[in-house]
Amino acid sequence: MIAASARRVAAAAASSSPSGRVSQLASTLNHQRWIHDRNKKAMELVAKGWSALQEVDRVIDFADRNDKRLIPLLRGAKENFELALEIDNMNTHARCWLAKMHFKYHVPGACKAIGAALLVEAANMGDPEAQYELGCRLRVENDHVQSDQQAFHYIEKAVDQLHPGALYLLGAVYITGDCVKRDIASAMWCFHRASEKGHAGAAIAYGSLLLKGAEVPEVITRFNSGKSPSTGKVRKRTIQQDSVKLAKEQFQIAAESGSDLGLRWLKRLGDYEKQPEELKQIQQ
């Protein structure tokens, strides 16, 4: 017992000495470097798996879902995600994509029960894509189970991280008043934030609401400020609510995201702007 106490005292003295502190710092740095290398390797594997799935998605609409030519790509993607989890078990990206493979793709060994477990784990670990995916599946695939509240819980979690799909879905919920009180201003905020991230559906929804006369919520415009040319002080700036111009910007975002509906709206607004002012006033 005395010997053990002596060893502890000696260890404490060594750690308090300059050489001991240097050794402890080196050990900490080596551990951090190991964690960094591990995470980097895991993300490289996730990227490889994701690239393989992108190739599958590129051709799957033009091929049979059970096409044997897709099997090597799917198997390779699955193996990369599994290896990423072996290297870094806390990697939520690998867990989420592996869950999607079990649900969406005809990959050898696919199991929806495993996919569901992986998706729940990734969502509870804070991955916004997993939270959004789980929220959608809970709401759509359980006709005989009252899962709306749980689905809404995960959607809100994803919204907190500004996931564009979740923002769009929450905006739609506010528009319809499903599960929550109908709130146009909150819906527009959701559509606006999702549109900023390039979500085509949200941009079209936001533009359509503007054309219907909905006002831009103050929460979106309150931080728009400028400097006074005379004093140089920051002042609030009144934004002219040109609904057609604002809507056109949203439809442009949708069109740039590849939405045909966005292009059709742009053409329609272009035709409208070419009309005489008298005819515009009659239509309004």
pLDDT of residue 77: 92
At 225, is the secondary structure helix, strand, or coil?
strand
Gyration radius of the chain's alpha carbons:
27
Q: φ, ψ for residue 146 (rounded to 5)?
A: -80, 85
Look at residue 16 and tell me if it is in a domain. Answer: no
Residue 282 to residue 271: CA distance in whole angstroms = 15
By the 8 A CB rule, do 101 and 107 touch? yes
Distance CA 211, CA 243 (A): 6
Neighbouring CB atoms inside 10 A of 57's CB total 11
Q: Which two tokens stand for residue 107?
A: 């990959």
CB 98 within 8 A of CB 81: yes
The verdict on residue 19 lying in a domain is no
Residue 224 located in a structural domain = no
Q: What is the H or E stretch that residue 75 is in?
A: helix 71-87
pLDDT at 66: 74
CB atoms within 10 A of CB 188: 24
Indicate the number of domains in the chain.
2
The Cβ of residue 16 has, within 10 Å, a number of other Cβ atoms equal to 9
The Cα 45–Cα 10 span in angstroms is 45
DSSP 17-28: SHHHHHHHHHHH
Q: Are residues 138 and 177 located together in one domain of the fold?
A: no
Which residues of the chain have a pLDDT value below 50?
Answer: 1, 6, 9, 13, 223, 225-232, 234-240, 279, 282
Q: Which of 127, 144, 160 is the last residue of a domain?
A: 160
Phi, psi of 275 (to 5 degrees): -75, 155
Q: What is residue 273's predicted lDDT score, i.e. its pLDDT? A: 76
Amino acid at 199: H
Domain boundary among 132, 160, 188: 160
Same domain, 123 and 174: no
User: Domain ends where: 160, 179, 210?
Assistant: 160
What's the confidence (pLDDT) of residue 162?
95
pLDDT in tens, 173-200: 899 887 788 999 999 999 999 999 999 9
CA proximity to 197, closest of 161, 240, 248: 161
Pair (89, 150) in one structural domain? yes
Q: What is the reported pLDDT for 20?
A: 64
In a domain, 30, yes or no: no
According to DSSP, residue 226 is labeled E
Same domain, residue pair 253 and 176: yes
Q: Are residues 52 and 67 in the same domain?
A: yes
CATH number at residue 154: 1.25.40.10
77: containing domain? 35-160
Q: Are residues 190 and 118 in the same domain?
A: no
Query: Is 185 in the same domain as 258?
Result: yes
pTM of this prediction?
Answer: 0.74
- Do 262 and 195 have their domain in common? yes
Q: Any long-range contacts for 167-175 (C-beta under 8 Å, 24+ apart)?
A: 167/191, 167/193, 167/194, 167/197, 167/199, 167/202, 168/194, 168/199, 168/201, 168/202, 168/205, 169/132, 169/135, 169/136, 171/202, 171/205, 172/205, 175/205
281 within a domain of the structure (yes/no): no
- In this structure, the answer to whether residues 108 and 208 fall within a common structural domain is no
Q: Residue 90: name the closest of 121, 120, 111, 47 by CA.
A: 121
For residue 247, tell me if it sits in a domain.
yes
The answer to the question of residue 283 being in a domain is no
Report if residue 4 sits inside a domain: no
* CB contact at 8 A, 110 and 101: yes
101 and 182 in a common domain: no
Question: Domain check: are 169 and 149 in the same one?
Answer: no
> Are residue 185 and residue 270 in the same domain, yes or no?
yes
What separation in angstroms does the CA of 53 have from each of 26, 72, 76, 84, 104? Answer: 41, 11, 9, 15, 11
